[in-house]
Amino acid sequence: MPVLDLNDQKAVERYNKFMRQSPYGHITQDLNWAKVKNNWEPLDVYLEDEHGEIKAAMSILLTDTKTGKKFAYASKGPVLDLNDLDTLDALVAEAVDALDGRAYVLRMDPEADYSDEFNEALQAHGYVTLNRNVADEGMHATIQPRLNMVLDLTQFPDAKESFDLYKSKKRNKFRRPFRDGVEVTSGNTKVELEKFYTTYKTMAHRHEITYRPFEYFERMQAAFDDDTMQIFVAEREGELLATGIALKYGKKVWYMYGGSMNGNTYFAPYALQLTMIQWTMDSGCELYDLGGIGEASTEDGLYHFKHEFVRTDPVEYIGEIDKVLDQSAYDELVSD
């Protein structure tokens, strides 16, 4: 069956193995992500090759909308080689059958590089794409940022320490928090989680932005083991300064959430990033993803900070790929 039976332990193990070993896998396509987003309904579909092995898969989460039709979202999915659009079409067809008219759209946003040719090919296959055509609406025009600052560690084959990645002037700058007494520890217990949430909530109040409840992060911690999730804590003389949550999956470590206290943090965020990069290197991963930016401009505060660590241009992803299933509902909720 192309729809995963979550009550079939062997089928779940096989699906998990594919997701975690695929070069196209992502943490938000893992089955455990549905435990974090527990107010969404999960649906997982896959295709098999001629030998009965899984060759493509997609974990979808569904939520209600005011139209009565559901929003179906495959965050950072699907998991397959997107150069093969025929396989994408076949997987989407399985998902559409499984959705059985309940959703107005199936939205996908894989970490696939943007190109005009790829964008046009997707449109030729009947998909609606949201990428450069919505860029004027800013960083939040799409659910996930399209521009990400990604450190490619394969470009530094001889590096053993995070400091090795940078020139001497930059290394001297990055050593400053450590010289000033900042210490970074990590773990995945309630102690680290509570410290993280203190900084996360403080920063949200400082910037007057919304933030997730503590229970959301408790579910994340319960869903992912210590090898996958680490909470990094920067302190100085016992004073909490800043924190960050990083998740490891496949060949990548993803910096997902962070926070900092008010006042002087002694450049603790720099120390955190270097320590998380070191974890990436020690884990044998190839990529460290610092997350999204609005634009590659020093006027963008996120870019200004993240460009300190990633000296290359941001990666531009293809953006959102929509399979429209109910045009009238789509027009009401999505169209210009």
Residue 226 designated active-site: no
Active site residue 66: no
| Residue tagged active-site, from 55, 248, 252, 306 | 306
Catalytic residue among 17, 206, 212, 311: 212
Known active-site residue 306: yes
Whether residue 192 lies in the annotated active site? no
Catalytic residue among 239, 305, 308, 332: 305
Question: Roughly what angle, to the nearest 10 degrees, separates helices 214-223 and 190-207?
Answer: 140
User: Residue 238: which region, alpha, beta or left (left: phi > 0; alpha: psi -120 to 50)?
Assistant: left
Active site (annotated) includes residue 109: yes
Please pick, among 37, 70, 195, 248, the residue that the annotation labels catalytic: 37
Choosing from 94, 109, 235, 322, which is the catalytic residue? 109
> Catalytic residue among 44, 94, 235, 320, which?
320
70 is catalytic: no
Q: Catalytic positions, please?
A: 37, 109, 212, 305-306, 320
